[in-house]
Amino acid sequence: MTYWNEKAALVTGGSAGLGKAIARSLVSAGARVALVARDASNLRSAADELGGAARGVVSIPADVTREDDVARMAERAGSELGTIDGPLFHGAGRSDRGEALATPVSRFDELWRINFVAAVLCAQALAPALRAARGHLVLIGSLASKSASRHLGAYPAAKFALAAFAQQMRLEHDARELHTLLVCPGPLARVDAGSRYDARAVGLPDSARRPGGGVKLKGLDPERLAARILDACRDRRAELIVPGRARMLFALSQLSPAWGDWFVRRMT
């Protein structure tokens, strides 16, 4: 029997990528999981892939940037799985490409809502149940939550806000009652890495099309990362930064922004 056995978890962005990998790890560990995403068809496919109702997996189509959708999501998750007494994993998010001054304010608002506001809405909706169950709030940030990079458009500003929210949650809630984990991973290994942002990267250097805007890091395996996230969550850690050596950059940037900027330019 594992720590996650029979716990009820909710994963936003659960139909693909890291969200689906986290859901798969939870199901394998005996948890019941509600998958949440906007595309109902992709969501059903993901739920079926993970075993469907027979394995305690339900799919809940919702746009987590909308307060009314989040309220319905929380109500349905409760009715189908019971109290969400395990983790809330907020994996919904979107990256970007572009130069900051050329990025329309509407794009900043769009990424702000999916990468940050959605996390706040979900946390507010489910925090009472999580707190009562001594559960976990897991926020999937990015290395861009700690250090900006060139040509990522509206993405870093939204992810920085997520890091601030995670710290507020840690300061306001005893981790033994409501635990908050901020995950800051580098780029994930994907089939379409290097081409998925072609349309957004027109007019930018070729490096901007690559994962992380050209950061010199190997793509992370989502399944291995998911296992590390569950371990960090169970241990009630405050942060998980992958790769760990990125902490050196973050510390350097705090000591000297000029040195940090120099290091970012060297690494991208």
Instruction: List the chain pLDDT tens, one digit each, 268 residues.
Output: 789 999 999 999 999 999 999 999 999 999 999 999 999 999 999 999 999 988 999 999 999 999 999 999 999 999 999 889 889 999 999 999 999 999 999 999 999 999 999 999 999 999 999 999 999 999 999 999 999 988 999 999 999 999 999 999 999 999 999 999 999 999 988 777 767 788 887 888 887 788 777 787 888 999 999 999 999 999 999 999 999 998 988 888 889 989 888 888 888 7
246/185 Cα distance (integer angstroms)? 9
With vertex at residue 214, the alpha carbon angle to CA 211 and CA 217, rounded to the nearest 5 degrees, is 70
| Superfamily (CATH H level) for 8-267 | NAD(P)-binding Rossmann-like Domain (3.40.50.720)
3 has catalytic annotation? no
DSSP string, 103-131: S-HHHHHHHHIIIIIHHHHHHHHHHHHHH
- Whole-Å CA distances, 253 to 155, 156, 217, 259: 19, 15, 18, 6
Dihedrals φ, ψ of 92, to 5°? Answer: -65, 135
Q: Which two tokens stand for residue 19?
A: 């969200």
3/179 Cα distance (integer angstroms)? 15
**Would you call 45 exposed, middle or buried from its count of C-beta atoms within 10 A (0-12, 13-18, 19+)?**
middle
Among candidate residues 4, 155, 160, 165, the one labeled active-site is 155
Handedness of CA 27, 66, 151, 166 (dihedral sign): negative
257/262 Cα distance (integer angstroms)? 9
Judge if pTM exceeds 0.75.
Answer: yes
